[in-house]
Amino acid sequence: MTNEQYQEAIDWLFVQMPNYQIDGQKAYKPGLDNITRLCAFFGNPQEKIKCIHIGGTNGKGSSSNMLASVLQEEGYKTGLYNSPHLIDFTERIKVNGENCNKEFVFEFILKLKQLPEDIRPSFFEFTTIMAFEYFAQQGVDFAIIEVGLGGRLDSTNIITPLISAITNVQLDHQNILGDTIEEIAREKAGIVKKNIPVISGDENEAVKNIIKAKATQENAPFIDATQIHTDLSSDLKGNYQKKNIRVVWAMVAELRKQGILISDEALEKGLLNVHQNTGFIGRWFEFSNHPLTICDTGHNQAGLEYVFSQLNSIDRHKHVILGFVNDKKIDEVMDLLPENSEFYFAKPSINRGRHPEDYENLLREAKIFYKIFNSVQEAYLSAKEQCTNEEMIFIGGSNFVVGEFLEKNLEIHK
């Protein structure tokens, strides 16, 4: 397999399959019928691996990478399935921090082309079965599976995990999951399985009660991670990570109850070495010190509130680069923008990317100092030219903005 052949296969995959990351709601195919048939076609690899299931509006990516790092520190061969990817497709599927083998991806796409006519998976269904098969072939001790969207009808919900966790519930993807926190909570609580412990990390009593009611219905032990007090810290530096650490602590405690050896040392070292062990970036990621340059993929209202609050706590003038996709409610974002900042709005280079000219009326109304750019890289180069070493640059608003920035600049930075 050449690099050209691999890229052709990936390009074919993105074109052929409905892809939420690119196309949005029209690519979303809820329900487990298709993934059930797809898994059966490949011999149900998800039944050959021990899984841990992690959902939630925000924090599921950080929590899953933290737990993977902890398990790796204990010496377990650990699979990790996250989405979306920032730079390369293979980031979605990792074993002990190493991206999925490109040869495997190429060969698996060839198998996909041989699927019966009546099985036509979505992009996410395909990547999910790919992860299951890769983890089974690699003989992982544990596979940490992050929910894609929602929970109840998500493709990943075909698994029977050792434990489940729901980090939190916030308003996001309302056009798919529901218009209220309660409706979304019920969708996310759909990952609760009979007799399988579920950890809840949300402080909202209404959310907590919905998850607890579902756990009671399924006779599943309910663990409230918000009641946990720990001084453990992580190399993932966002202030919001303290909440995720509690969820990880609770997951470790439940795994220990099942006889799985995880030492206090592995827990502590795992939390402090997430970047090194899993290659996880994009959450309050310090790209540079000169000038201070931070990336964060927080993109819904709750995520941006956390991120912008932390920005406000930094006493520097800020150059803030933001970009959004078509379904983003820009007016909500305008109310959250950090203080002491000038703004660089850019269009993410994907189909769903929204050009700032479309919402420039909101920018004017916000009475902020802003510029508009056709690409994230143009915005970054402009901000870098204006920024002194006593100031800082922030890049965010969308996974795609951060991914685009890192793809253009990470190798140069290294």
pLDDT tens track for 321-366? 999 988 777 888 898 999 999 999 999 998 889 999 999 999 999 9
204: its two tokens:
């909202």
pLDDT for the residue 410: 81
pLDDT for the residue 381: 97
375: its two tokens:
């690409």
Mean pLDDT of 263-270: 98
CB 3: neighbour CB atoms within 10 A?
8
The model's pLDDT over 192-239, given as tens digits with 9 standing for 90+, comes to 999 999 999 998 999 999 999 999 999 999 999 999 999 999 999 878
Question: Omega of the bond prior to 161 within 30 degrees of 0, cis?
Answer: no
Q: Where are the alpha helices (DSSP H) in 32-165?
A: 33-41, 60-73, 102-112, 123-138
The model's pLDDT over 60-105, given as tens digits with 9 standing for 90+, comes to 999 999 999 999 999 999 999 999 889 899 999 999 999 999 999 9
The reported pTM is 0.89
Alpha carbon distance 148, 153 (integer Å):
10
Q: Which of 95-109, 142-156, 169-183, 370-384 has the lowest mean pLDDT?
A: 169-183
Q: CA 122 → CA 18, 27, 32, 52, 87, distances in Å?
A: 5, 7, 12, 23, 20
Q: Are 9 and 110 in contact (CB under 8 A)?
A: yes
Residues 6+ apart with CB under 8 A from 158: 32, 35, 36, 39, 46
Reported as a pLDDT band with limits 50, 70 and 90, residue 368 is very high
pLDDT for the residue 179: 60
Alpha carbon distance 164, 191 (integer Å):
7
- Please choose, from the candidates 154, 144, 138, the residue with its C-alpha nearest in 3D space to the C-alpha of residue 57: 154
Alpha carbon distance 96, 80 (integer Å):
8
Percent of the chain with pLDDT over 70: 93
